[in-house]
Amino acid sequence: MTRARPVVAIDGPVGAGKSTVARALARALGFAYVNTGAMYRAVAIAARAAGIDPDGAGREAELTRLLERIEIRFDGDRIALDGRDVSAAIGDPAIGDLASRLSTIAAVRARMRELQRAAGRDGGVVMEGRDIGTAIFPDAEVKFFLTADVNVRAARRHAELAAQGATITLAAVRDQLIERDRRDRERTLAPLRPADDAIEIDSTGHGVAEVVARMRARIDQLARAR
């Protein structure tokens, strides 16, 4: 480990359990927790409010101006956009889809990369997303790639949305996940893939505590090897 405390990168597709596991791991370690997907969703909220067409000809310039003026902050598990708590709003499936589309745009990824690197620069952070171990912190001391069977992921995501009051079928959620997976893996900029030195964990059939325990064991092993 090169930092006093490590950067722990957790990547993986939607519904793999990254947020739940990363949040629990951060608490167990006494580390900060950063959900980079929430940052992209906050940008999506701002872009929709500004009427920016993610497929429009002038999108790069419009998004660049937007990103220069908005402020995204974390307060524990809450995320604020320009001082307004948008923690509930980012759960909207339409916002998630827009965030995925915006994440393919160079101006958006460049600004998010700056903010995410600043958030984890000094270590002592658990950061989860799609490209943390490959693009944001390729030098992260600990890297995990968390996945699960697509049917399990769809069921988890469907339960989350139902708890938020959304009315969407399980089949529709599964179709959305498959499309998100395709988009994330095929995008030119920082596609979703495990880092070469990432530990891959399939959470299918495993509880949060079990996954967190496995991650902690790996982190402790690296600490002892210093």
Domain ranges of the chain: 7-224
The phi, psi pair for 187, rounded to 5°, reads: -65, 150
The phi, psi pair for 201, rounded to 5°, reads: -130, 125
Residue 150 has pLDDT above 90, yes or no: yes
pLDDT (tens digit per residue) in 178-195: 998 998 899 888 889 999
Distance CA 4, CA 19 (A): 24
Residue 1 has pLDDT above 70, yes or no: no
- Residue 40: what pLDDT? 94
- Residue 2: what pLDDT? 63
Residue 204 has pLDDT above 60, yes or no: yes
Tokens of 196: 């070469």
Q: What share of the chain is helix, strand, coil (3-state, %, to 5)?
A: 50, 15, 35
- Residue 3: what pLDDT? 81
pLDDT band at 142 (very low <50, low <70, confident <90, very high): very high
Distance CA 102, CA 217 (A): 36
Name residues whose C-beta falls within 8 Å of residue 168's C-beta, 6 or more positions apart in sequence.
93, 158, 161
CATH T-level fold of 7-224 = Rossmann fold (3.40.50)
pLDDT (tens digit per residue) in 62-93: 999 999 999 998 877 789 999 999 998 998 88
HSE, side-chain direction, 13 A CA sphere, residue 99 = 23
- Residue 62: what pLDDT? 94
First to last CA, the chain: 7
